[in-house]
Amino acid sequence: MNAITFDRSKAKFPIPEVATSFIAGRALPSDGTGERIPVICPATEELISTLREADAQEVDQAVMAAREAFAKGPWPRMSVDQRKKIMLQIKQILLDHADELAYLETMNAGISTNHVRNFHVPRMGFNFEFFAEVASQDSGAAYLQTKPYLSIVTREPIGVCALIGPWNAPLALCSMKIASAIAFGNTCVLKPSEFTPLSLLRVVELINQTDLPKGVVNLVNGRGQVTGDALISHPEVDVVSFTGGTTTGRAIASRAGQNLKPVALELGGKSANIVTASANMERALNGSLLAIYSNNGQQCLAGSRILVDRKIADEFVSKFVKRSEKIAVGDPLETKTEVGPLAYEAHMKRVLGYVDIARKEGAELLTGGGRHTEFNKGFYMQPTAVMAKSNDARVCREEIFGPFATFLVYDEIDEAIALANESEFGLVGYVWSEHLPTAMKVSQNVRAGTIWVNTPLTRELRAPFGGYKNSGIGRDSAEDCKMFFTEAKTTTIPLEDFPMAKWGA
């Protein structure tokens, strides 16, 4: 692709010409070694920056900076109150730059600026406050049952954390990883997706302008196969936290397994959204549209398989289609935009490819199905919905990760539950019903990590989030993150003199 070069004088906030790594408190020079990878704005197809890829040597530099900060620096040794103060400084500096960070995210990932500014950026700030609080409330355990001993259990930071994130919501997802890792006294190296390096580079720069000691938060930019692989294979990395696709997750888990590193995997989904005959139709409609189309349809927790009770199917599907056709697709920088472009060209082609797959499988195209004709530039796709023939169809089984809804009709709630469970994934599930026993039946029988009843996409940070089956290993929550990012230590002390063998006496 021959991208048009972006006119920098048009930029609302500065965009770096070259995105490099950020190690031990400074950005690395743009003229170092490493592949040059174009960074494209998905809304205009302009070349907005160039990524200079970190090779294995540069990754080593980042990991060793994190190791040095962990082994000798003040961060793991500070009181939690001091750490909390710095975490709150981080929250503040990020929120002070909310517009700039939202702009960079929109320019690079194509997510509507409204969505980023109203949801992702506040959530990013809250992540630092939340995990500072969690760490400051931590307590250990004491065991007195085995006399005369007192055994106390404390938790210590685990060390250097490799954090690898996807391109669909870089600020919201990676800020959670950074906050939950460093709150417990760890240091880290973050690798964003090669497609979306810009917002997180600025986040790491800003974080390093606070009192956070240098080397605690480092960033390496580059492709997964090169930079990511070097990071997870590095012997000085103690733990790997990964969010991304299931295939990559498998590769990462096996590599981490060879090195005996604990790994947390937040992976893909093909979540069922069950609309029952007892649903409040208007709320179910609003929620179902948000569940599949928000974030341009690129979200792991999308309600992408909509299972509708036959008794209301005609009415629900026709209303859904009408509303899909009225969705404001357009420039993500415009505040009225609801759905922006897909994040990069190859991804758009992949998502569009599912329209052909659906047709070949005999699905009925209900709406959309093509590139948006209003735009001659940008990776815009029409909000799309199909009625599948059966749950065996690829559009029911595979994660499409775009504004693409797949419908199926069911007759009994048990059938809907069985369909929901006929999936390799188990990230989330949705149910719309005003009848509590029906909602509870779905909640108790659908095998997924989170079930939303009459609400879409609500995240409670205190509660576990993560997937059953191929949707991942491990959970995010206050407690789960503590367990993952710390090591347990038992210290045993006798409280009185006790008889001991006197060998050699």
Within residues 388-407, the interface with ligand NDP by CB under 6 A covers: 399, 401
What is the spatial distance between Cα 474 and Cα 335, in angstroms, rounded to a whole number? 36
Applying CB under 6 A, which of residues 75, 103, 167, 432 lies at the interface with ligand NDP?
Answer: 167
Nearest residue to ligand NDP, scored by beta-carbon proximity: 224
The Cα–Cα gap between 160 and 176 comes to 16
Over the window 417 to 436, marking each residue x when it contacts ligand NDP by CB under 6 A and - when it does not, the resulting string is ----------x---------
- Minimum CB distance to ligand NDP smaller for 202 or for 347: 347
Q: Please report whether residue 232 would count as binding ligand NDP according to CB under 6 A.
A: yes
State which residue, 251 or 440, has the beta carbon closest to ligand NDP.
251
Count CB-CB contacts under 10 A for residue 240. Answer: 23
| Cβ atoms within 10 Å, residue 382 | 22
Sequence-separated (6 or more) residues with CB below 8 Å from residue 61: 21, 23
Confirm or reject binding of residue 228 to ligand NDP (CB under 6 A): yes
Query: Smallest distance from the beta carbon of 196 to ligand NDP, in angstroms?
Result: 8
Binding residue for ligand NDP (CB under 6 A) from 45, 105, 229, 309? 229
Among 23, 93, 164, 219, binds ligand NDP (CB under 6 A): 164
- Minimum distance, C-beta of residue 336 to ligand NDP, in the bound complex (Å): 26
Of the chain, the end-to-end C-alpha distance in Å amounts to 82
Distances (CA, A) of 37 to 34, 48, 105: 9, 11, 18
Shortest approach of ligand NDP to residue 221 CB, angstroms?
Answer: 8
Query: Which residue number, 75 or 404, has a Cβ lying nearer to ligand NDP?
Result: 404
Contact with ligand NDP (CB under 6 A): which of 93, 111, 200, 267? 267
Report the residue number, 223 or 441, with the smaller CB distance to ligand NDP. Answer: 223
396 belongs to the catalytic site? no
Of 78-86, 108-116, 239-247, 303-311: span binding ligand NDP (CB under 6 A): 239-247
Q: Is 472 in the site for ligand NDP (CB under 6 A)?
A: yes
Query: Any idea what DSSP says for residue 82?
Result: H
Q: Is 223 in the site for ligand NDP (CB under 6 A)?
A: yes
Q: Parallel, antiparallel, or unpaired for β 305-309 and 404-410? A: parallel
C-alpha dihedral, 316 to 319 to 320 to 321, nearest 10°: 120
Question: Distance between CA atoms of 116 and 124, rounded to whole angstroms?
Answer: 10
The residue (of 232 and 308) whose beta carbon lies closer to ligand NDP is 232
Cβ atoms 433, 276 nearer than 8 A: yes
Strand 187-191 versus strand 217-219 pairing type: parallel
| Cα R_g (the chain), whole angstroms | 24
Element (H, E) at 107: helix 98-109
Work out which of 76, 159, 268, 341 binds ligand NDP, going by CB under 6 A.
268
Q: Of 46, 53, 194, 266, which residue is the catalytic one?
A: 266
Q: Which of 21, 112, 193, 337 binds ligand NDP (CB under 6 A)?
A: 193
Rounded to whole angstroms, the Cα distance separating 100 from 373 reads 30
* Cβ distance to ligand NDP smaller for residue 284 or 420: 420
In what order do the strands lie in the sheet containing 26-27?
Answer: 26-27, 22-23, 217-219, 187-191, 160-164, 239-243, 263-266, 472-473
How many Å apart are CA 242 and CA 262, to the nearest integer?
Answer: 11
What single string gives the DSSP state of each residue in 140-200?
Answer: -EEE-SSTTEEEEEEEEE--EEEEE--SSSHHHHHHHHHHHHHTTT-EEEEE--TT--HHH
Answer for the pair 477, 463: CB distance below 8 angstroms, yes or no. Answer: yes
CB of 84 to ligand NDP, least distance (A): 26
The DSSP annotation for 398-448 comes to: S---SSEEEEEEESSHHHHHHHHHSSSEESEEEEE-S-HHHHHHHHHHS-S
Q: Toward ligand NDP, which CB reaches closer, 123 or 155?
A: 123
The nearer residue to ligand NDP, 83 or 270, going by C-beta atoms, is: 270
Q: How far is the CB of 256 from ligand NDP (least distance, A)?
A: 10
φ/ψ of 11, rounded to 5, equals -65, 135
166 is an interface residue for ligand NDP by CB under 6 A: yes
For ligand NDP, give the closer residue by CB, 49 or 433.
49
Regarding 186 and contact with ligand NDP (CB under 6 A), the answer is no
Binding mask 53-92 for ligand NDP (x = CB under 6 A): ----------------------------------------
To the query of whether residue 174 is one of the catalytic residues in this protein, the response is no
Contacting ligand NDP (CB under 6 A), which of 198, 252, 333, 396? Answer: 252
Residue 105 in contact with ligand NDP, rule: CB under 6 A: no
Least distance to ligand NDP from the beta carbon of 219, Å?
12
SS3 content of the chain, % helix, strand, coil (to 5): 40, 20, 40
Binding-site size, ligand NDP (CB under 6 A): 32
Residues that bind ligand NDP (CB under 6 A): 164-168, 173, 191, 193-195, 223-225, 228-229, 232, 243-245, 248, 251-252, 266-269, 300, 399, 401, 427, 467, 472
Known catalytic residues are: 266, 300
